[in-house]
Amino acid sequence: MTTHKDADANVVPEQPGRRKFLNTAAITGLAGAGLSMGLAGCNKEDAAPDAATATGAGSEGGIDYAKYAVHPGQLDEYYAFSSGGHSGEVRIYGLPSGRELRRIPVFNMDCMLGWGITNESKAIIGTNPDGSLKYNTGDTHHVHPSYTDGTYDGRYIFVNDKINTRVARVRLDTMECDKITQLPNVQGFHGIFPDKRDPLDPAINHTTRVFCGNEFHIPQPNDGRDLDDPSKYFCLFSCVDAETMQVRWQCKVDGNLDLIATSYDGKLVCSNQYNTERGVHYVDMMAVERDSCIFLNVARIEAAIAAGKSFTIGDSKVPVVDGTKAANADPATALTCYVPVPKNPHGVNVSPDGKYYACAGKLSPTVTLIAHELVLKWFDGGLAEPRDAVVAEPEVGLGPLHSGFDNRGYCYTTLFLDSQIVKWNLDAAIKAYQGDKAALDKIVVDRIDVHYQPGHGFTSMGETREADGRYFVSDNKFSKDRFLPVGPVHPENSQLIDISGDKMLLVHDSPVHSEPHDSIIIRRDIIKPRQIYNIDEFPLAVKSPTDSRVERNGRKVTVYLTSQAPTIGLAEFSVKRGDEVTIILTNLDKVEDLTHGFAIPNYNINFIVSPQQTQSVTFIADKPGVYWCYCSHFCHALHLEMRSRMLVSA
């Protein structure tokens, strides 16, 4: 295998000694060097040529920005769903405008919706016996929707919580989280990806499972045993049922599990492993030159579980199978296949034709292309070594993290250290790997600077069979000088790149609140949200203003209320100090967008009800006095007058 310096030299000046594997000393130094290279962009002179892109107006450098403008009243062509990082939420924005449309609270609290305040949301998030939230923080990294026939079906989105090891499902008709499940015996749940069909029944062509990674190895169970004996720590791959959201099974592996990708036929799921060393310090995690991309054979694992070849860990009832190398040496029966890839790989993404997995090198300047058919061939005993499934390993630049694909055979990879996106050709990379020297020059076809240090990058519809090759979004970890300064916490920079032509064109900057990791871009016709709730879906609904009432059962008081602009069903209601009060509120308005709020001063209660929706809250009326419950969502000319008095007697 020759290196691709020639190809690189066509596009960027040769940088002797930089495009090498990074050893322990180098990464420490280079992280600094890479960042300071990026920081050089802070100089006004460096920033000036691109500064106009932020305005999205006019025509600069031959780019007709007006072509990408979304005028007032016009709708975007795509939805982008993005994780919210340590905000714990999911965000929706429109493309190409970059306008943020909504934030969906998931693992976090939200004062507008009342997420984490209403009884309905608390039941989904999970509470302690005293009714307080079990967790009120989260760290969402990856959002991926459900599939039918290899493309998005608009039913659900699944999202991970790295901190508290939970997987959440969001309904795409109401854009609300409806289930949250915690993974047992897992710490650092990072990658998540739904399957694209059922490998056991070809007739089931939609998502049935959600696969979950496990970045941090821990003692099993993590109950105080083996505290400082890392040789006993291990990681579990988890499979969650997409409908019931119960954990179906887990698979014990060697090394760790980072990001996840699934095949289009449902047969394989894979994960990059950067800590095959099972190190507990970063230096130890970089000890070997090759880590792995692990492949799991879903049908075989489920057959093993059906045959009772599983065990359980601690209090968990979830069946666990052994996917370690030692237990899976024979391909004929193996549940797992460990394909060696260069040092500390990061993102792994599947090409839209379903043929290849692209595993980005991170500490190696390469992307490793692994053929789906060849991994299956290994499981069938037809391939000598797992590494033989590798069909290309082009050098693309420094710090490759994530890749997106178009529909013309090109891959777009983010280069964290180079602050660039590199466009490269899959066929040329494969030919070059086979020894075709003429193909070397045809691998890298374009590079574009981004601002700065990109993490995830993704193409429009690029994780589906319907990849359309129109846009690439680079989610950049640093924005530095790209926006008005707003204090030491900078926004991140989500940059829109037109990839429809030969050259990539940077057409828009959008500041984003930290820290979304990943997003996906969905054609707007796929998403069909409801505009109004169905009152019959709420068992507690109060269906008429005349049903508004107070019911007492000992110290438990239930207040049934309606809201209909500009009135709340009861102008006043009385409770006694110390009562446990439950307020059930239905919005009877049917006008689209006519949302009411309900806030109780000094009781820390605030939530909304949208048309035909019912929500409830429960609290102890521990403070006597008059409390004006008011509508907190502007709804009507008499919005300020829309109030009710809660009279709490001493």
**Residue 91 in the binding site for ligand CUK (CB under 6 A):** no
CA distance 78 to 60: 25
**Residue 4 in the binding site for ligand CUK (CB under 6 A):** no
What letter represents residue 423's amino acid? K
**Residue 144 in the binding site for ligand CUK (CB under 6 A):** no
**Residue 401 in the binding site for ligand CUK (CB under 6 A):** yes
In this complex, which beta carbon is closest to ligand CUA, that of residue 428 or of residue 568?
A: 568
Shortest Å distance, C-beta 575 to ligand CUA = 22
Give me the residue whose beta carbon is nearest to ligand CUK: 455
CA distance 585 to 610: 10
**Residue 492 in the binding site for ligand CUK (CB under 6 A):** no
Q: Which stretch binds ligand CUA (CB under 6 A): 355-363, 406-414, 522-530, 636-644?
A: 636-644
By the 8 A CB rule, do 537 and 611 touch? Answer: no
By the 8 A CB rule, do 361 and 343 touch? Answer: yes
Shortest Å distance, C-beta 492 to ligand CUK = 11
Span 295-354, contacts to Ca ion by CB under 5 A = 344
Using the rule CB under 6 A, which residue among 144, 423, 482, 633 binds ligand CUA?
633
User: Which option in ligand CUK, Ca ion, ligand CUA, none does residue 348 bind, with CB closer than 5 to 8 A by kind?
Assistant: none
**Residue 86 in the binding site for ligand CUK (CB under 6 A):** no
CA distance 512 to 476: 10
Shortest Å distance, C-beta 473 to ligand CUK = 13
CA distance 275 to 10: 35
User: Which option in ligand CUA, Ca ion, ligand CUK, none does residue 639 bind, with CB closer than 5 to 8 A by kind?
Assistant: ligand CUA
Using the rule CB under 6 A, which residue among 4, 91, 142, 633 binds ligand CUK?
142
Backbone angles phi, psi at 299, to 5 degrees: -65, -40
Q: Who's near 385: CB < 8 A, 6+ residues apart?
A: 378
Enumerate the H helices of 12-55 as residue ranges. Answer: 24-40, 44-51
Half-sphere exposure of 467 (CA within 13 A, CB side): 24
User: Which option in Ca ion, ligand CUA, ligand CUK, none does residue 444 bind, with CB closer than 5 to 8 A by kind?
Assistant: none
User: Which option in ligand CUK, Ca ion, ligand CUA, none does residue 508 bind, with CB closer than 5 to 8 A by kind?
Assistant: none
Tell me the DSSP string of 506-528: EEEEEEE-S----EEEEEGGG--
**Residue 90 in the binding site for ligand CUA (CB under 6 A):** no
Shortest Å distance, C-beta 290 to Ca ion = 8
CA distance 527 to 231: 47
**Residue 141 in the binding site for ligand CUK (CB under 6 A):** yes
CA distance 421 to 369: 18
Instruction: Please work out the total of residues on this chain that contact ligand CUA, with binding judged by CB under 6 A.
Output: 10
What tokens appear for 322 in the block?
A: 């052994």
By the 8 A CB rule, do 425 and 351 touch? Answer: no
In this complex, which beta carbon is closest to ligand CUA, that of residue 118 or of residue 208?
A: 118
In this complex, which beta carbon is closest to ligand CUK, that of residue 190 or of residue 248?
A: 190
- What is the x/- site pattern for ligand CUK, positions 234-263, by CB under 6 A? -------------------------x----
Using the rule CB under 6 A, which residue among 184, 347, 404, 469 binds ligand CUK?
347
Q: Who's near 483: CB < 8 A, 6+ residues apart?
A: 54, 490, 491, 493, 509, 511
CA distance 423 to 404: 10
CA distance 116 to 138: 13
Token pair 């030969």 in the structure block, residue = 502
- What is the x/- site pattern for ligand CUA, positions 560-599, by CB under 6 A? ---x-x------------------------------x---
In this complex, which beta carbon is closest to Ca ion, that of residue 342 or of residue 491?
A: 342
Span 502-521, contacts to ligand CUK by CB under 6 A = 517-518
By the 8 A CB rule, do 519 and 80 touch? Answer: yes
Using the rule CB under 6 A, which residue among 260, 285, 374, 635 binds ligand CUA?
635
Tell me the DSSP string of 451-495: SS-EEEEEEBTTTSTT---SEEEEEES--TTSS---SSSPPEEEE
3-class secondary structure, 347: coil
The residues pairing with 527 across neighbouring beta strands, listed in sequence order, are none
Shortest Å distance, C-beta 585 to ligand CUA = 11
By the 8 A CB rule, do 433 and 4 touch? Answer: no
Shortest Å distance, C-beta 599 to ligand CUA = 10
Shortest Å distance, C-beta 632 to ligand CUK = 35
In this complex, which beta carbon is closest to ligand CUA, that of residue 460 or of residue 632?
A: 632
- Alpha-carbon Rg for the chain, nearest whole angstrom, is 27
By the 8 A CB rule, do 617 and 582 touch? Answer: yes
In this complex, which beta carbon is closest to ligand CUA, that of residue 56 or of residue 597?
A: 597
Rounded to 10 degrees, the C-alpha dihedral 340/342/348/354 comes to -60
Nearest to 251 by CA among 213, 285, 287, 279: 213
**Residue 456 in the binding site for ligand CUK (CB under 6 A):** yes
In this complex, which beta carbon is closest to ligand CUA, that of residue 421 or of residue 631?
A: 631
Residues at the interface with Ca ion (CB under 5 A) = 274, 285, 291, 344
Q: Contact residues for ligand CUK (CB under 6 A)?
A: 141-142, 190, 259, 346-347, 401-402, 455-456, 517-518
Binding site for ligand CUA (CB under 6 A): 563, 565, 596, 631, 633-636, 639, 642
